[in-house]
Amino acid sequence: MTNALDAPDTPAGPGCPVTAAELPALRRRTSAVLIASQILGGLGVPIGIALAPVLATEVSGSETLSGLAPTASVTGTALLSLPLAALMTSRGRRPGLVLAYLIGALGAGLVVLATVVGSFPLLLLGMAGFGAGSSANLQARFAAADLAEPDRRGRAISTVIWATTIGSVLGPNIAAPAGHVFRGTSISETAGPFLMAAAIFLLAAVVVGLLLRPDPLLTARALAPQDGQSAGGRSLRAGLAAVRASPMARLALLTVAVSHTAMVSIMVMTPVHLGHHGADLQLIGLVISGHIAGMYAFSPVMGWLSDRFGRLAVIGLAAGLLSCAALLAGTAGPSHNQTAAGLFVLGLGWSAGLVSGSALLTDSVPQPTRAAVQGLSDLTMNTAAGIGGAVAGVIVSQASYGWLNAVGACLLLPMAALALRRALTRPAAA
């Protein structure tokens, strides 16, 4: 069944905030607002990625616990996924994104307070709230897909992901200068950048709250056929049923979960590994910046490949890139250059998996259930990554960083096998 998104010349239905003729301009406006918010979010989130393990070691006094801080952030992202999805399902994208950025700002403030009072539990609570910033950045990719034509969803998703590049590359590298501002105060140089992140999240909330109008999800619903548009059809339970009913949706869910888990598990322990081999905070920031550039800068390429050659082909590419990254990083030893190369390729693999998996997930379920399914996707991927991040610290402390990469590569086998099976049995499905 087609709708106004599939056929742009079809008049919009009664009560729709835009006509079909106005859709192209609305798509551009929505994309511009989401890009602006992603740039801001991209400045804030990587500060936690780069500094959380180091800060956890400082506060707890134990390297074994270093992986718990980034894990708390990922866990917070996961725990907030369903409540935010429920809010977006009932009220639209805008209130959900605004709330996520506000919670992220509060979490960043708690992180700073935790370092001042020396409380590791408070630090973990703050990092969990900080993870809401990641929730907003992740959900923005689906907001970009709400109004996109079906054959351009991959590119719509990837454009918003790409926008994160600007802030994400700058974020870790301005962490050190931002920290120097607090030299000689009760706030450590490692914690100081989190205050900057709080201000950035607040600004992102203002941008989305004022400018993301009309709401893209509510507009997409108004343009869609009214069949199945009941509140029950948009519930989280209905979303779960939609995933169970679609083999392709299950593959998409597995793809984003495995790609994210492999990336997070390896990435969160890389600063600790680099520190073992003499890297200072500036070098760690550069390596993480390169990794984040791999994650976001080439996402338009992944989106184009996904639309041009199919979602399954790019899922296969993701498995290959992530495996190569694990080999490079896992065998790098004291070579900072090889570790940096491995982290860059790790980012590319994550980008391929997230873009293709997100597009396939959106393709595979009915429009009324999409917001719920997308929230379920973020819950699944971040829960899995949270577990992976926690286990990563134990693996590194008890075995080695090389073994961590080997385990990460093994996680890719089910995803690659299922994608190959779907490609062989339904070569034209994606």
The model's confidence at residue 240, banded by pLDDT at 50, 70 and 90, is confident
Please report the pLDDT score of residue 379 as a whole number: 86
Burial of 51 by CB count in 10 Å (0-12 exposed, 13-18 middle, 19+ buried)? buried
The model's confidence at residue 1, banded by pLDDT at 50, 70 and 90, is very low
In this prediction, residues 239-256 reach a mean pLDDT of 92
Question: What confidence tens digit (pLDDT) does each residue in 44-61 have?
Answer: 887 776 677 778 888 888
Please report the pLDDT score of residue 203 as a whole number: 95
* Residue located via tokens 């600790």: 272
* Residue located via tokens 């709080």: 198
Please report the pLDDT score of residue 169 as a whole number: 67
SS3 for the chain is CCCCCCCCCCCCCCCCCCCHHHHHHHHHHHHHHHHHHHHHHHHHHHHHHHHHHHHHHHHHCCHHHCCHHHHHHHHHHHHHHHHHHHHHHHHCHHHHHHHHHHHHHHHHHHHHHHHHHCCHHHHHHHHHHHHHHHHHHHHHHHHHHHCCCHHHHHHHHHHHHHHHHHHHHHHHHHHHHHHHCCCCCCCCCCCHHHHHHHHHHHHHHHHHHHHCCCCHHHHHHHHCCCCCCCCHHHCHHHHHHHHHHCHHHHHHHHHHHHHHHHHHHHHHHHHHHHHHCCCCHHHHHHHHHHHHHHHHCCHHHHHHHHHHHCHHHHHHHHHHHHHHHHHHHHCCCCCHHHHHHHHHHHHHHHHHHHHHHHHHHHHHCCHHHHHHHHHHHHHHHHHHHHHHHHHHHHHHHHCCHHHHHHHHHHHHHHHHHHHHHHHHHCCCCC
Question: Buried b / exposed e across 292-321, counting CB within 10 Å, b at 16+?
Answer: bbbbbbbbbbbbbbbbeebbbbbbbbbbeb
Please report the pLDDT score of residue 176 as a whole number: 63
User: If phi over 0 gives left and psi between -120 and 50 gives alpha, with beta otherwise, what is residue 94?
Assistant: alpha
What integer best gives the mean pLDDT of the chain? 84
Has residue 424 got a pLDDT over 80?
A: yes
Q: Which of 61-75, 104-118, 407-421 has the lowest mean pLDDT?
A: 61-75
Who wins on pLDDT, 372 or 10? Answer: 372
Q: Which of 60-64, 230-234, 414-418 has the lowest mean pLDDT?
A: 230-234
Question: What confidence tens digit (pLDDT) does each residue in 383-397 have?
Answer: 888 788 878 888 988
- Asked if residue 183 lies in contact with residue 54, where contact means CB atoms within 8 angstroms, the answer is no
- Asked if residue 291 lies in contact with residue 173, where contact means CB atoms within 8 angstroms, the answer is no
Please report the pLDDT score of residue 4 as a whole number: 47
Q: What residues contact residue 366 under an 8 Å CB cut-off, 6+ apart? A: 228, 233, 242
